[in-house]
Amino acid sequence: MGWLWGSSDNTNNGNTNDPYSKLDPALREFLEKESPLKYKDTKPKSSQTPEDTDYRAQVGLDKPGLTQEKQNAEPRQNKPDVPPESLYQDGRYAHLWKTYRPESEIQSASKSDQDRMRDVFDAYSERKAAIGRAAIENCVMEQMAEKECFMHGSWSKRMTMCRDENRAFLRCYEMQSRFMKALGYLSQPRSADEEERIQMHADKLYSQMLEREAAAEVAKTEGTEMPKMAPLIQEESTTKALGEDSAWSRVRKQASEQNVSMALSNYAPEKQEIIKDRIKNMNPQEKELELQLIAAETRAQLEYADQIKGAMEKDKEARAERRARGKETAGDQLKRLWGWDS
């Protein structure tokens, strides 16, 4: 009896193992007419079924000996390039991506000169705020001690507004912030891993500073001479802690290439007076650390100065282009009269 209708010969086409050959001729004709995949009435040379062969052809695996792994490993030099935003990195729909522009690029192109300059200032302000947050994290013990004093301290402590605890916290916050600035926390870009290394090393330097101060106090009390110590911030140990490609290393290399000296005599006279007034009441150890921090903070500002210079150069080029096209604005004219384009 045939399947569904009619009759069929199980030995049709001489292939008893082919289920397709067992179908009724009328049903086979109907399937061949309606099915989008044409069945080949020949037995494949390999052990794969015809359905497998058609499927492999559709997904691009019909080459002899080509597996999914080999296909993924094939070079893509012949495939059209598509941006990372495309879900099909194999080159499909590449023609639709030819005119694609990232949103950040479109926003950047539509920004005015003032907007670009503001972006530099905003980024710097954000990095300074990030230093504050990191310093708070490093000084959490001092902050907790201050809070504990206000909540459960003695009457005399609270009458003096927990002055000692407050001073300890504020000094920790200030010095931790300065250490992180000196170590390159203001640099951009920087990874989260580098931020953590800077934060941890700043905390280590602060602990070493307190130990040296304690040793100096003991020596003063006992009337002995303070032992000579190496500078707190050393190039070799700092580079080892932060890495050869860290912001610390980059700014030092940049200062060396630009022949920027951190000697006190190279600062402007007004800046020299400020520095001298700051260190005049410090002991030799404190003076050395203060001068180290000032020099390191100055080096860290070089990158920011380059960003400001780059933004001003782009502003100058944009003004020159507008003037050449006869589109000079009133603001452009004022800047030109003030000598900004010279």
Peptide bond before residue 189 is cis, with ω within 30 degrees of 0: yes
**C-alpha span between 212 and 226 (Å, rounded):** 10
**C-alpha span between 216 and 209 (Å, rounded):** 11
pLDDT at 342: 60
pLDDT at 6: 45
**C-alpha span between 158 and 160 (Å, rounded):** 5
CA 307 to chain centre: 17
Q: What pTM does this model have?
A: 0.58
CB 27 within 8 A of CB 5: yes
CB 232 within 8 A of CB 285: no
pLDDT at 189: 66
Between the alpha carbon of residue 223 and those of residues 49, 95, 220, 226, 286, the distances in Å are: 96, 82, 5, 9, 19
pLDDT at 8: 43
pLDDT at 35: 60
- The parts of the chain modelled with pLDDT lower than 70 are 1-22, 33-80, 100-101, 103-114, 116-117, 120, 188-189, 340-342
Say which residues have a Cβ less than 8 Å from residue 320's Cβ, sequence separation at least 6: 341
pLDDT at 171: 94
pLDDT at 284: 82
pLDDT at 158: 86
What 8-state DSSP symbol labels residue 90?
T
pLDDT at 80: 61
